[in-house]
Each structure stands twice: as C-alpha cells, then as structure tokens.
C-alpha cells in the first residue's frame, strides 16, 4: 500500500498548494487545475482494481492515464518549435474539436430527423470553432511527441525520448487491454491435452509492476504541475525513485 499512500499524498499536497496560491487565469494554470483531479480519479480507480487483482481493466485505465500524461506534457514542456503554452493548448483544443466533429458525423446515418438537426447544428458549431483557431491541429499523439526535447529519466541521469523511449514504456503495452483481440485471447488460453481453459485476466504482469506504471504517469503530471507553479519537486522525485528501487529488489 506504500504506492497508494504516496500517490494520494502527492495529490493532496499539490492540490493544497494550488488552492493556497492564487494564480491568474492563464492556460497553463487552467490546464493543471483541470488535469490534476481527472488524473487522480483515474489513478484512484486503477489502484482499486489492482488491489482486487483486476489487471486488464486496470491496464485499460493506465493507457488512458498515459495518454492524458503525454498530451499534458506536450502542452507544457519546451518543444523544438519554441511554441508557447497558449499555442499548444489551442492546438489541442482544435484537435479535440476535430475528433468530436468526426464522432458526430458517424452518428448521422442512424439519427432520426430531430436528432439529425441537433447533430448538424453541433457540427456547424465545431466547424466555426475550428476556424477560429489560427494554428494547426495537434495531430496524433505519437508523432506529436517528436516535438518534445529529450528528458531526464531521473534515474541514472540518462536522457530519454518521449516518443521513442517513454511512449513504448507507458502507453503501448496497454493497448491490448483497450482493444481486446485474438492476440489477447491467445494470452488467456491454456491447452492441456484435449482440454482448453480460458482465463479472464493476464498473469504476466503483477499488480506491483502495474502500480509503478500508474505511479510513473502521476509523477510526471505532478512534477510538471510543480514546475509550472515554480515549486520544488525534488522531494516527490526522491520518493518516486526510492519506491522504484525497492520494487526492483522484490
């Protein structure tokens, strides 16, 4: 339960500091205020599932949490184009509008007349909002990470690429939990003679490992938030690295 307690402590301490320090209405602060409670919700749900050994559903939530983490970092961290946070937030918003428009368009063929009218109005609104934003779309998550500068892993000082090192570590392994297919089914089957047994969950991950993945996402979100606010994050970094060190010994 050390991981659970540490994660909750990071959140409660960070939120308390955010509430105690009034900031102007700027995109960076607004983004942090929006992402922190959402991330805590997903993280808390993940830990609840892992504490009852429900690994696949927990992995699906980790994938969502990782996506949120990477896009959050993409908005806040320095990038090769030297775009400011305001521009990055606007580009993400424009991408969100595009995806929502695409989802609504898929509903049109099955909509009745009243629903069609409502959907078409929503699409027109989204098209207008997209036109108001003078920047390009954020683009797909994987390729957009190419824009980010290298980052230190904080463990040995090695510089890592968000796209080539961290994305495959924190995002890709959990796709099978979000998109179950025959690749996953084959991992859940056991053949003994003429008998075949299917299981509902994976055995190749243990709950402690999955909690570390969850914690890694949260560490990046909390650390980035503290950087935005100008606070020191070395204490949570030390706790994070110590827990990882202890986990490797088990």
- What confidence score (pLDDT) does residue 189 get? 79
Domain boundaries, the chain: 2-78+148-249, 83-146
- Mean pLDDT, range 135-142, rounded to an integer: 93
* Mean of pLDDT over the chain: 90
- What confidence score (pLDDT) does residue 250 get? 66
Q: What percent of the chain has pLDDT over 70?
A: 97
Half-sphere exposure of residue 22: CA atoms within 13 angstroms, side-chain side: 0
Kindly tell me if the per-residue pLDDT of 70 is higher than 80: yes
Structure tokens of 135? 């920047």
Q: What DSSP string runs through 137-185?
A: P---HHHHGGGBPPEE-SSSS-EE-IIIIIHHHHTGGGHHHHS--HHHH
- What confidence score (pLDDT) does residue 153 get? 56
- Mean pLDDT, range 88-104, rounded to an integer: 96
- Whole-angstrom distance, CA of residue 129 vs CA of residue 208: 44
- What confidence score (pLDDT) does residue 81 get? 80
The count of residues in the chain is 250
Task: Find the range with the poorest average confidence among 1-5, 30-34, 98-102, 159-163.
Answer: 159-163
Q: How far is CA 221 from CA 36, 50, 89, 110, 232, in A?
A: 7, 21, 16, 40, 14
Q: Give the tens place of pLDDT for each residue, 8-26.
A: 999 999 999 999 987 888 8
Q: How confident is the model at residue 79 (pLDDT cuts 50, 70, 90)?
A: confident
Kindly tell me if the per-residue pLDDT of 157 is higher than 80: no
Q: Coil, helix or strand for 242? A: helix
Q: Structure pTM?
A: 0.90
């Amino acid at each position: 339960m050390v991981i659970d307690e540490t994660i909750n402590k990071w959140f409660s301490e960070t939120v308390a500091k955010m509430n105690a320090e009034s900031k102007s209405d700027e995109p960076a602060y607004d983004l942090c205020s929006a992402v922190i409670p959402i991330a805590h919700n997903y993280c808390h749900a993940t830990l609840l599932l892992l504490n009852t050994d429900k690994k696949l559903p927990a992995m699906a939530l980790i994938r969502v949490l990782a996506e949120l983490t990477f896009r959050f970092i993409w908005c806040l961290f320095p990038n090769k184009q030297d775009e400011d946070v305001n521009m990055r937030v606007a580009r993400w918003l424009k991408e969100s509008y595009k995806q929502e428009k695409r989802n609504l368009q898929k509903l049109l063929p099955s909509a009745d007349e009243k629903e069609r009218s409502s959907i078409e109005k929503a699409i027109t609104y989204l098209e207008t909002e997209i036109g108001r934003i003078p920047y390009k779309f954020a683009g797909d998550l994987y390729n957009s990470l190419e824009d980010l500068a290298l980052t230190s892993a904080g463990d040995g000082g090695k510089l890592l690429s968000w796209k080539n090192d961290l994305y495959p570590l924190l995002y890709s392994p959990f796709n099978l939990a979000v998109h179950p297919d025959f690749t996953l089914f084959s991992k859940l089957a056991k053949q003994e003679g003429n008998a075949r047994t299917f299981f509902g969950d994976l055995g190749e991950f243990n709950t402690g490992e999955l909690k570390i993945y969850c914690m890694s996402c949260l560490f990046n979100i909390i650390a980035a938030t503290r950087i935005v606010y100008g606070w020191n994050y070395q204490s949570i970094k030390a706790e994070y690295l110590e827990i990882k060190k202890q986990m490797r010994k088990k």
